[in-house]
Structures are given as C-alpha cells and as structure tokens.
Structure 1
Amino acid sequence: MQRFCASLLAFSLLLMAGCAGLPKAALEDTSFEARRTKLQQLEHWTASGKIALRTADQSESVSLVWQQVGNATHVRLSGPMGISATTIDSDGLQMEIRQGEDYSRWSLDDPQVQQTGGWDLPLRSLHHWLKGIPDPDLEVELLELDEANQLPELLQQQGWTVEFQQFARFGDYQLPTRLQATRGTTSARILLREWRDFFTS
C-alpha cells in the first residue's frame, strides 16, 4: 500500500491542471508557435481536477490541486487508498512527500522514484504537457495539430504519447481540460476542471 501511494504521488508530480470562469480575452495570433511561446511564459498558475492511473497490475483515481510558481510545485492529493492527507512539494530538483506522519525526500533523478511500485512516469515534463505544449528540454518525436484551431492533438516525447482530447479558454489562454498520457502498460487520464491565478514570468 505504502509503495503504491508513493508511486501515485511521484506520478502526480509529473503531471497537473484544471478550468475556471475567467473573462475571455480578445484572440491574438492563434498559430501553435505563438501559443507555445505565450504558454512557456506562463509559470505561475493553479489547477485542479482528477487523474486516473492504470498499469497492468493496478489502477487508482484521485483528485488533485496543483500550484506552480516558477520551478516550485505544490500538489495536494485526495481520494481512496489513504491518500486523503498527501502533499507533494518540489523545487524542480528534489521532491518531498508528506502523508500523515510519513515523510520522504527524493531526487527527481533517482531511478527508484520511477520504479517504485512498478510505475514508470515522466517526472519533469508533465507541467508542460498539462499546458498543452512540449517539454522544451526534450526532443519532440511527433506533434500533430488540429488544422482548424492549431491546437495539439497528439504529442510524443521521451517514449510517452500524450493525447489532447479537449480544450477550453481560460482568460487569455486556451488550455487542455482532458488528456491522456501513455507509455507501455502505464496510462494516466487527466480531467482538468479549473485553471486560475495566472501570472507570467
């Protein structure tokens, strides 16, 4: 149980996002390159929703709140399997997990983080994918765009396939509200209900 929760938390650190009732802004350049440049500058935001994780051996679904401030990440998870009091904090290099009285600290480069409980998860790229853009530090293996709106439909990086299934406008940004990331027998379905507190760097 404890190993499963640690894996779930590590994965959450990879991923995060959501939807809110912010006023619509006038559309500017809607090309993908213009949108990617704008979203790369969006470094401070709060998102909430759900993630459902599945492997060949186990599956679980939890609610999440993700706060991103520059390179700093704060995540709160709630759901079954005793994850109701779990927080994850990271400065982009180290990750701290608190669950009740339990505490653990990991380097994001530690291979055991990815192997714990059998999960194989992307630890550095998810906050980019949640915004609907590639990780700028990784090679783009494949990128398919919707011709009408220039929104990404399919992205492949580091062996992961990310399917963007739905977008919505929040303030000045067009952001994913439903996506799925898969690699091998691991998959993560993400439903994002709320995006808010937008600040650019």
Structure 2
Amino acid sequence: MIRAQPHCNARALGKGILAMVVLVLTGCVSVNTSKQMDTGQLAFEINGRLGIRFQDQSEQAQLYWRHGDKGDWLSLEGPLGQTVATLSSNADKTVLITTDRTWEAADPEALTEEALGWRLPLGGLSQWITGTPDTRRTYEWQTTGQPDQRTLRQDGWEIRYSTYFTDTPQHLPRKLELIRDELHLKLVVDQWTTGPAMDTKPQTLQ
C-alpha cells in the first residue's frame, strides 16, 4: 500500500487545503469501464503543477495522475517534495490516503460524503483535462477572439483553457483553470504521455 511521508506539516493533512483539493478531484474523476473508454477517452499519464486558491488560502503542489480503463491513480506532493495524499479509484472502490488516515468507499461520491460530509457531483475531470467535455451530460463552450482561449462550463464548473501543446496529435492542453464557487485550481501540465489503456489496477487496489 502506498503511504505518505510522515514529515508533512499539519496544515497540509486531512484538514488542510491540499487534502481537501484531493477530495474535490476525487469527486471529479470519472471511473471508466472499457465501454466508456470506447467513447474516445484517452488513457494518459501527466506530470504537472497545481495551484490552489480557496477563500483566503493558497497552496502549490506537484500532481502526478495515471488514468486508464482500469481506474485512476493520483498523487499530490507539497513544495518540499513530501507526499500529501494519494488516490486510487476503479469501478469497485476508491481509496484516499493522507499522512493521518485512510478513507475507503465504494465510489468517489460516497468517499467525499464520508470525508467532507456532503456528496460532490460526479464530474468529468478525466475528459476536461484533455480539452473535451463529457458528452454524456449537458455542457457549454464559450470562445474568445484568441484561437486557444476558450471556456467550458459543465457540472457547475468553469474550465478555462489558455495554452496547448501544438506538437501532440490531440492538441492537448498545457494550461487550464478550474473554477467552482470559492475554489480556484490552476493546472500546468509539464508532460503528457498517452497510449494504451492501463492493463493493471492502480497500486493500492491490488
């Protein structure tokens, strides 16, 4: 089982903003079956940087995310390289590990209800991050005069795209912002890897 490093400071633990954001991302991750992957979802790995602003708090973190038809695995690291939280999720269960405890539930929505006290709507972050909406639900695009600048609205989120990797066949996003109420996430993707769907379950679900 993946375990977070023990020297992470208390502000970044279960009650901290970084752990809270992992829970928000948990509620947005679409756990995919092979049938859903056939709709055009990419299997991918990304390395990037996440900026977080919530009310009067702000944090920075490194994000690693592996996504495929067997599930998702995410890791957030603090500014000193310490692991703040890891998340594994597939069609059977979702496991979130921080330095002070472990949450486990049948699905991301149930986990957020246990950890936060309320259920987040299951969104489509695994689609949004590739620059596309989840076409199974209502969405709206808004464009500007700039070719790469456009905004997607879906599930109560506003997703703003500003920069893309022009050398990838999928024209994948490099910089995007996700805004909902008082939560503002800014994601810069440093590296995309796309290819065949994951052929094994995420590590903590073995």
TM norm. shorter chain > 0.5: yes
2:21 pairs with 1:8: yes
Higher strand share: 1
Residue aligned with 1:7, SS: helix
Residue aligned with 2:136, SS: coil
The match for 1:26 is none
Does the 8 Å CA contact 1:11/1:122 hold for their aligned counterparts? no
Residue aligned with 1:110, SS: helix
User: Unmatched 5+ residue regions in structure 2?
Assistant: 1-10, 30-37, 199-206
Matching residue's letter, 2:116: T
For residues 56 and 84 of structure 1, what CA distance do their matches in structure 2 show?
24
The match for 1:116 is 116
Does the 8 Å CA contact 1:93/1:108 hold for their aligned counterparts? no
- Count matched residues: 176
For residues 82 and 45 of structure 1, what CA distance do their matches in structure 2 show?
23
TM-score of the superposed pair, with normalisation by structure 1: 0.71
TM-score of the superposed pair, with normalisation by structure 2: 0.70
Q: Tell which has more relative contact order, 1 or 2 (C-alpha 8 A, sep 6+).
A: 1
For residues 48 and 195 of structure 1, what CA distance do their matches in structure 2 show?
7
The match for 2:97 is 98
Does the 8 Å CA contact 2:47/2:64 hold for their aligned counterparts? yes
Residue aligned with 1:127, SS: helix
The match for 1:194 is 191
Q: Judging changes above 3 Å, is the alpha-carbon distance between structure 1 residues 45 and 74 closer, same or farther for their aligned structure 2 residues?
A: same
1:157 maps to which of 148, 154, 159: 154
> RMSD of the TM alignment (CA)?
3.5
1:109 deviation in Å?
2.3
Matching residue's letter, 1:77: L
1:101 deviation in Å?
6.5
User: Unmatched 5+ residue regions in structure 1?
Assistant: 16-38
Does the 8 Å CA contact 1:92/1:124 hold for their aligned counterparts? no
Q: What percent of counterpart residues are identical?
A: 19
